Chain A
Amino acid sequence: MIRWLAGLIGFGLAATSALAAEPALIGVGYLGVAAPRSTLSLIAQPAENDGVAGARLAIDDNNTTGKFLGQRFALEERRVKEGEDPVQAATALAEKNGFIITDLPADALLKVSDALRDRGTLLFNAGAIDERLREADCRANVIHTAPTRAMLADALGQYLVWKKWSRWLLVVGSHDEDKLFADALRRAAARFGAKIVQEKTFEDKGGARRTDSGVTLIQRQMPVFTQGAPAYDVLVAADESEVFGGYLPYRTWDPRPVAGSAGLVPRSWDASQDQWGAIQMQNRFVKLNSRRMTALDMQAWTAVRMIGEATSRTNSGDVTKVTDFIKGPDFSVAAFKGTRLTLRDWNLQLRQPILLVDGRMVVSVSPQEGFLHQVSELDTLGYDRPESKCKLK
């Protein structure tokens, strides 16, 4: 505490005197994939700049602060196409940028992190929600601002249990990531005392998401698909692949709410979130990007703000200093979620409240009241320290 205080006092002086000097340039890279994914709902279709738009706003925010501190932030963006080597793009970015924000699939991220390990580049995973990146495959040079599947599932599970909708009908897609989300939902049910009364698989038999008379067909399929289920309170869908989830609300055989990948969805952020001062940031985002802010935008914004927070606290753009501060015990960042966000030091995952949204409004924010924890209530979401398999290296 004393040391920290002394640092701040010293910094107050430095901050004032740094005004006149040439600003220190702090380079931030953004590495994403070029393949846009297709969604069932046209309005959920991600923009081409999904993610990087959030990083750009945070660069602007950091620069507003930076002008008082003699720091200037710049963003360099690269996209990898399918089949392209992400390592090559990452290495090119690392030439000028000590920090890289990534929106990459798990395997690509691991390749990049291993390739850049000796350079000291600090990576921020803003896109991948895979548990294994924080567990068996965790890396000491990767900080995760994206929540994990378990965090998302736990956030939803806590609310459903609070609502006393404890009998779940689980419908799982046939793709790998659907199955992973289903695993997380099963774990949440077991942790919080919900019961999965039945599981159904929705087989992806291919087919277009855009058709001329799709509604007629879906209206016949979905009631039949959900017919004959044992008594349940809520249908929980695991459909990250966007094959069927969006078709379920209002079409179940029994009149039941839908949650998970459709209906009530757990997300790190939503365009409708306006609490805790978020309205100002939402307004800044719309002004800059002419569209509303998504969860991926927020995860990238948070990553770049974490860098800005650390450079202003350490009064340095030095990657090692900044990395040490971010991983250290005094680090926290404000991200319009009503509480300070900190890192889980055992796997470098950012602790964060999760919003439950219906596409129009924020319905609730987890952790829910009454789910207690000895360290941080945010650690009731996802894998906790004692369960972690991560050994940072």
Chain B
Amino acid sequence: MRSSWHRDDAAPPPPLAGEGWGEGVSASDSPREERALSRIASCDAMRPPPQAGEVKTARGQMSRILATPLLVTLILAAAPAHAFIAYVSNEKSNTVTVIDTDSWTVTKTIKVGQRPRGIDFTRDAKFVMVAVGDDDTIQMIDAKTQSVVDSLPSGPDPELFAQDAAGKILYVANENDNTVTVIDLEKRVRLGDIQVGVEPEGMTISPDGKTLINTSETTNMAHFIDTASRQIVANVLVDARPRFAEFKHDSSEVWVSSEIGGTVSIIDPRKHEVIGKVTFEIPGLRKEAIQPVGIGMTKDDKTAFVALGPANRIAVVDVASRKVTKYLLVGQRVWHMAFTPDEKYLLTTNGVSNDVSVIDVAAQKVIKTIQVGELPWGIAIAP
């Protein structure tokens, strides 16, 4: 049994019930699950936030956690304790772990298809889509029942995907096929394919919905695709093995991480030029271990977080100066990340240590580690 607490913490508490392998937590964990379900049901509605005191009395299991001074301080300090639901895809377990961001516990483990990786909510928050690459499909998890209810005709080996602003069209990177598949989300049918470079992976769509960016890992390019004509309009060469692309919220820049190149390229999406690069240097760590993958950017576009893979760290980047201001030690081989909608917390998936790290965004500190399934990869949090 691994400690569920971050290695920096002084005294690890006794392990939580149901912690460990994701499968250990089942649907029969009823009181917490009901709570989780009620939250999903009401996630669109305005709901008075529970107070810290309520949280404490609501759950017997919490008392032990609360005994630890750090979390007590944390909960007391964070007045309205919004609770959200995070879904984590576990690449090796073929499961999706559901985490309650209030108690930071695993509330359910959902069995899905083979090799789940890319994961996201539909815009209406009713479904969680998870790309199950080895089953050549994208499965739809009903957020209410937390079970797989349908699948999408994605094309071979889907990995990451992006949807348009209206949530009607889904674009899927098919790694085996050098294509991006276009899917009608309402009718759940395939509309067509776009030929791109070798091993398409990273996918993002511009805030105005007009431009789709796809990165291809062996071609080492970010392909700019016009969503209306579905034609490539520009190809921008970046460093080796580009894996992830993220727009700034103001649309002025696209950030593309290069896993093997060890950099993040910043592209001007109008001129289709690399206008800058974020580089990383961690004393005592060899360069090859720094492998940027996931990127998260705060809504004010001031701070970016970059997952550095086997460097086991998240880099905090000042967006204006494009400089790293801090490195946060998380679990091993950190892949991807997701903010809670209130942007208080950032959750990262740590592939090799089989856990999720919770970062306090304001404090820029890792406050918690949650054990999930084997090789956690992607993460999505209910809006």
Contacts and interface: CB of A to CB of B under 8 A. Distances in A.
Given A64-B197, A340-B261, A5 B277 contact: yes
Interface in B161-185: 175-176, 178
Interface in A256-298: 277, 280-281, 283-284
B149 interface: no
Which 5 A-B pairs have CB atoms at the shortest separation, nearest pair first? A65-B219, A334-B260, A68-B235, A339-B288, A334-B240
Contact of A340 (B176, B235, B240): B240
A332 B274 contact: no
B101 interface: no
B58 interface: no
B124 to A, nearest CB: 33
Contacts of A283: 157, 176
Among B219, B221, B267, residue most surrounded by chain A Cβ atoms (within 10 Å): B219
A12 B272 contact: yes
Contacts of B220: 65, 309, 312, 334
Interface of B: 157, 175-176, 178, 197-199, 216-221, 223, 232, 234-237, 240-241, 259-262, 267, 272-277, 286-288, 310
B237 A16 contact: no
Nearest to B275: A9
Given A61-B198, A334-B218, A339-B288, A12 B178 contact: no
A61 B157 CA distance: 18
B286 A68 contact: no
A15 B176 contact: no
Contacts of A338: 310
A9 B261 contact: no
A64 B241 CA distance: 15
Nearest to B115: A279
A64 B178 contact: yes
Contact of A15 (B175, B237, B310): B237
Contacts of B217: 277, 334
Interface of A: 5, 8-9, 11-13, 15-16, 61, 64-65, 68-69, 277, 280-281, 283-284, 305, 309, 312-313, 332-334, 338-340, 376-378
Contacts of B157: 280, 283
B154 to A, nearest CB: 15
Contact of B240 (A280, A284, A332): A332
Nearest to A69: B235
A284 B197 CA distance: 13
Contacts of B241: 277, 334
A351 B216 CA distance: 24
Contact of B219 (A64, A277, A377): A64
A340 B236 contact: no
18 contacts: A5-B274, A5-B277, A15-B237, A61-B218, A61-B219, A65-B197, A68-B219, A68-B221, A68-B223, A68-B235, A69-B235, A277-B199, A281-B199, A281-B218, A312-B220, A313-B237, A332-B240, A340-B288
A376 B286 contact: yes
B217 to A, nearest CB: 6
Contacts of A61: 198, 218-219
A26 to B, nearest CB: 15
A12 B221 CA distance: 10
Nearest to B235: A68
B272 A16 contact: yes
A355 to B, nearest CB: 17
A68 B197 contact: yes
B218 A65 contact: yes
Contacts of A378: 288
Contacts of B223: 68
A13 B273 contact: yes
Contacts of A8: 237, 274
Given A277-B217, A334-B240, A339-B288, A64 B198 contact: yes
A127 B323 CA distance: 44
A376 B236 CA distance: 30
A348 B65 CA distance: 57
Contact of B237 (A281, A305, A312): A312
Nearest to B134: A279
A377 B267 CA distance: 32
Nearest to B199: A280
A289 to B, nearest CB: 16
Given A9-B275, A281-B199, 16 more contacts: A5-B277, A8-B274, A9-B273, A11-B237, A12-B273, A15-B221, A15-B236, A61-B198, A61-B218, A61-B219, A277-B241, A280-B175, A283-B157, A334-B240, A340-B288, A376-B286
Contact of B274 (A12, A69, A339): A12
A333 B198 contact: no
Nearest to B262: A340
A313 B286 CA distance: 24
B234 A284 contact: no
A284 B198 CA distance: 10
Contacts of A277: 175, 199, 217, 241
Contacts of A284: 176
B236 A12 contact: yes
A198 B157 CA distance: 51
Contacts of B232: 68
A275 B216 CA distance: 18
A305 B240 CA distance: 12
B317 to A, nearest CB: 17
Contacts of A377: 286, 288
Among A12, A69, A277, A332, residue most surrounded by chain B Cβ atoms (within 10 Å): A12
A334 B260 CA distance: 6
Nearest to A17: B234
Among B176, B276, B288, residue most surrounded by chain A Cβ atoms (within 10 Å): B288
Contacts of A313: 237
Contact of B260 (A9, A16, A332, A376): A332
